[in-house]
Amino acid sequence: MGNFKNVDTEFVERTLAILAQYEGLMHQYKFEEQYNHTLLINCLLGLIVFPKENNIHFMPKVVLTNELKVSMGIYNSTFNADIVGLKDLIISLRHSLAHFDITFQSNNDAFLIDDIIFKDHKKGADYIVATFKPVELLSFIRYYGWWLIKNIEDNQHKFEK
Protein backbone atom coordinates (compact mmCIF):
# COMPACT_ATOMS: atom_id res chain seq x y z
CA MET A 1 0.00 0.00 0.00
CA GLY A 2 1.26 3.41 -0.85
CA ASN A 3 1.45 6.69 0.98
CA PHE A 4 -1.60 8.51 2.28
CA LYS A 5 -3.42 11.05 0.12
CA ASN A 6 -5.63 12.01 3.07
CA VAL A 7 -4.25 10.48 6.27
CA ASP A 8 -7.27 11.53 8.34
CA THR A 9 -9.73 9.36 6.43
CA GLU A 10 -7.41 6.73 4.98
CA PHE A 11 -5.95 5.78 8.36
CA VAL A 12 -9.46 5.07 9.60
CA GLU A 13 -10.32 3.17 6.41
CA ARG A 14 -7.16 1.07 6.69
CA THR A 15 -7.82 0.37 10.35
CA LEU A 16 -11.29 -0.93 9.46
CA ALA A 17 -9.73 -2.98 6.64
CA ILE A 18 -7.34 -4.59 9.12
CA LEU A 19 -10.32 -5.79 11.14
CA ALA A 20 -11.97 -7.25 8.04
CA GLN A 21 -8.74 -8.95 6.92
CA TYR A 22 -8.24 -10.50 10.35
CA GLU A 23 -11.78 -11.81 10.44
CA GLY A 24 -11.14 -13.54 7.14
CA LEU A 25 -7.93 -15.15 8.45
CA MET A 26 -8.81 -15.79 12.09
CA HIS A 27 -10.20 -19.28 11.43
CA GLN A 28 -6.73 -20.40 10.28
CA TYR A 29 -5.45 -20.13 13.85
CA LYS A 30 -6.11 -22.29 16.86
CA PHE A 31 -8.48 -20.67 19.33
CA GLU A 32 -5.61 -19.96 21.74
CA GLU A 33 -3.81 -18.03 18.99
CA GLN A 34 -6.75 -15.80 18.03
CA TYR A 35 -6.13 -12.32 19.38
CA ASN A 36 -9.29 -10.58 18.25
CA HIS A 37 -9.80 -8.67 21.52
CA THR A 38 -6.23 -7.38 21.41
CA LEU A 39 -6.80 -6.29 17.82
CA LEU A 40 -9.99 -4.46 18.82
CA ILE A 41 -8.13 -2.40 21.40
CA ASN A 42 -5.30 -1.68 18.97
CA CYS A 43 -7.80 -0.56 16.35
CA LEU A 44 -9.46 1.76 18.86
CA LEU A 45 -6.16 3.61 19.05
CA GLY A 46 -6.37 4.16 15.31
CA LEU A 47 -10.04 5.13 15.39
CA ILE A 48 -10.37 7.14 18.58
CA VAL A 49 -7.02 8.33 19.94
CA PHE A 50 -5.28 9.37 16.72
CA PRO A 51 -8.24 10.92 14.85
CA LYS A 52 -9.47 12.72 17.98
CA GLU A 53 -6.36 14.87 17.98
CA ASN A 54 -7.13 16.37 14.56
CA ASN A 55 -10.80 15.71 13.97
CA ILE A 56 -12.82 16.03 17.17
CA HIS A 57 -14.16 19.37 15.93
CA PHE A 58 -15.89 17.50 13.04
CA MET A 59 -18.06 15.62 15.47
CA PRO A 60 -21.56 17.03 15.87
CA LYS A 61 -23.30 16.84 19.22
CA VAL A 62 -25.33 13.67 18.79
CA VAL A 63 -27.25 12.33 21.79
CA LEU A 64 -26.73 8.65 22.62
CA THR A 65 -30.36 7.62 22.29
CA ASN A 66 -31.50 4.01 22.48
CA GLU A 67 -32.19 4.22 18.74
CA LEU A 68 -28.59 5.29 18.04
CA LYS A 69 -27.23 2.57 20.32
CA VAL A 70 -29.26 -0.05 18.44
CA SER A 71 -28.01 1.28 15.08
CA MET A 72 -24.45 0.90 16.46
CA GLY A 73 -25.23 -2.69 17.50
CA ILE A 74 -25.30 -1.84 21.22
CA TYR A 75 -27.84 -3.94 23.13
CA ASN A 76 -26.10 -5.15 26.28
CA SER A 77 -23.10 -2.84 26.58
CA THR A 78 -23.46 0.09 28.95
CA PHE A 79 -22.20 3.66 29.16
CA ASN A 80 -21.86 5.81 32.25
CA ALA A 81 -24.99 7.87 32.88
CA ASP A 82 -22.81 11.03 32.81
CA ILE A 83 -22.15 10.40 29.12
CA VAL A 84 -25.07 11.69 27.09
CA GLY A 85 -23.52 12.33 23.67
CA LEU A 86 -21.39 10.42 21.19
CA LYS A 87 -18.72 13.11 21.37
CA ASP A 88 -18.63 12.74 25.18
CA LEU A 89 -18.27 8.98 24.80
CA ILE A 90 -15.44 9.29 22.29
CA ILE A 91 -13.54 11.77 24.47
CA SER A 92 -13.99 9.55 27.54
CA LEU A 93 -12.93 6.43 25.62
CA ARG A 94 -9.92 8.36 24.34
CA HIS A 95 -8.81 9.09 27.92
CA SER A 96 -9.30 5.47 28.91
CA LEU A 97 -7.33 4.20 25.90
CA ALA A 98 -4.54 6.75 26.15
CA HIS A 99 -3.94 5.84 29.80
CA PHE A 100 -4.62 2.12 29.19
CA ASP A 101 -7.29 2.25 31.87
CA ILE A 102 -8.96 -0.88 30.51
CA THR A 103 -9.83 -4.13 32.23
CA PHE A 104 -11.07 -7.42 30.87
CA GLN A 105 -13.64 -9.40 32.80
CA SER A 106 -14.47 -13.06 32.61
CA ASN A 107 -17.62 -14.52 34.09
CA ASN A 108 -16.90 -18.14 33.20
CA ASP A 109 -14.63 -21.00 34.14
CA ALA A 110 -13.00 -21.01 30.70
CA PHE A 111 -11.64 -17.50 31.46
CA LEU A 112 -13.03 -16.11 28.21
CA ILE A 113 -13.54 -12.35 27.93
CA ASP A 114 -17.15 -11.40 28.64
CA ASP A 115 -16.69 -7.66 29.17
CA ILE A 116 -14.18 -5.01 28.18
CA ILE A 117 -14.35 -2.23 30.74
CA PHE A 118 -13.09 1.27 30.02
CA LYS A 119 -12.41 3.40 33.09
CA ASP A 120 -11.25 6.93 33.79
CA HIS A 121 -9.15 6.97 36.94
CA LYS A 122 -9.00 10.79 36.85
CA LYS A 123 -12.74 10.83 37.60
CA GLY A 124 -12.31 8.30 40.40
CA ALA A 125 -10.90 4.84 40.94
CA ASP A 126 -14.26 3.21 40.25
CA TYR A 127 -15.47 5.47 37.44
CA ILE A 128 -16.52 3.30 34.50
CA VAL A 129 -16.82 5.03 31.14
CA ALA A 130 -18.26 2.03 29.32
CA THR A 131 -18.59 -1.71 29.61
CA PHE A 132 -18.64 -3.35 26.20
CA LYS A 133 -19.54 -6.88 25.21
CA PRO A 134 -16.77 -7.86 22.78
CA VAL A 135 -19.08 -8.46 19.81
CA GLU A 136 -20.74 -5.10 20.43
CA LEU A 137 -17.37 -3.36 20.64
CA LEU A 138 -16.61 -4.65 17.15
CA SER A 139 -19.97 -3.39 15.92
CA PHE A 140 -19.37 -0.01 17.59
CA ILE A 141 -15.91 0.25 16.02
CA ARG A 142 -17.32 -0.34 12.55
CA TYR A 143 -20.18 2.10 13.02
CA TYR A 144 -18.03 4.81 14.51
CA GLY A 145 -15.23 4.34 11.96
CA TRP A 146 -17.51 4.82 8.95
CA TRP A 147 -19.37 7.62 10.71
CA LEU A 148 -16.06 9.38 11.42
CA ILE A 149 -14.93 9.09 7.79
CA LYS A 150 -18.20 10.59 6.56
CA ASN A 151 -17.99 13.48 9.03
CA ILE A 152 -14.37 14.21 8.14
CA GLU A 153 -15.14 14.16 4.42
CA ASP A 154 -18.22 16.35 4.87
CA ASN A 155 -16.42 18.93 7.02
CA GLN A 156 -12.68 18.83 6.33
CA HIS A 157 -12.79 21.58 3.75
CA LYS A 158 -14.05 23.98 6.46
CA PHE A 159 -10.77 23.65 8.36
CA GLU A 160 -8.23 23.34 5.55
CA LYS A 161 -5.54 25.97 5.48
Residue 135's alpha-carbon distances to 25, 50, 75, 154, 159, in angstroms, are: 17, 23, 10, 29, 35
Question: Mind listing the pLDDT tens digit for each residue in 62-113?
Answer: 899 999 999 999 999 999 999 999 989 998 999 999 899 999 999 988 888 9
Task: Tell me if 14 is assigned to some domain.
Answer: yes
Task: Tell me if 131 is assigned to some domain.
Answer: yes
Question: Mind listing the pLDDT tens digit for each residue in 23-45?
Answer: 888 888 888 887 888 888 888 88
Task: Tell me if 1 is assigned to some domain.
Answer: no
Task: Please give the tally of structural domains in the chain.
Answer: 1
Task: Tell me if 103 is assigned to some domain.
Answer: yes
Task: Tell me if 2 is assigned to some domain.
Answer: no
The count of other CB atoms within 10 Å of the CB of residue 116 is 21
| 106: alpha, beta or left? (left if phi > 0; alpha if psi -120 to 50) | beta
Task: Tell me if 86 is assigned to some domain.
Answer: yes
Task: Tell me if 29 is assigned to some domain.
Answer: yes
Task: Tell me if 132 is assigned to some domain.
Answer: yes
Residue 121 clears pLDDT 70, i.e. is over it = yes
Of 9-18, 24-33, 56-65, 135-144, the range with the highest mean pLDDT is 135-144
The domain of 141 spans: 7-158
Question: What's the alpha-carbon Rg for the chain, to the nearest Å?
Answer: 16
The CA-CA-CA angle for residues 30, 1, 17, to 5°, reads: 45
Counting Cα atoms < 13 Å in the Cβ hemisphere of 63 gives 3
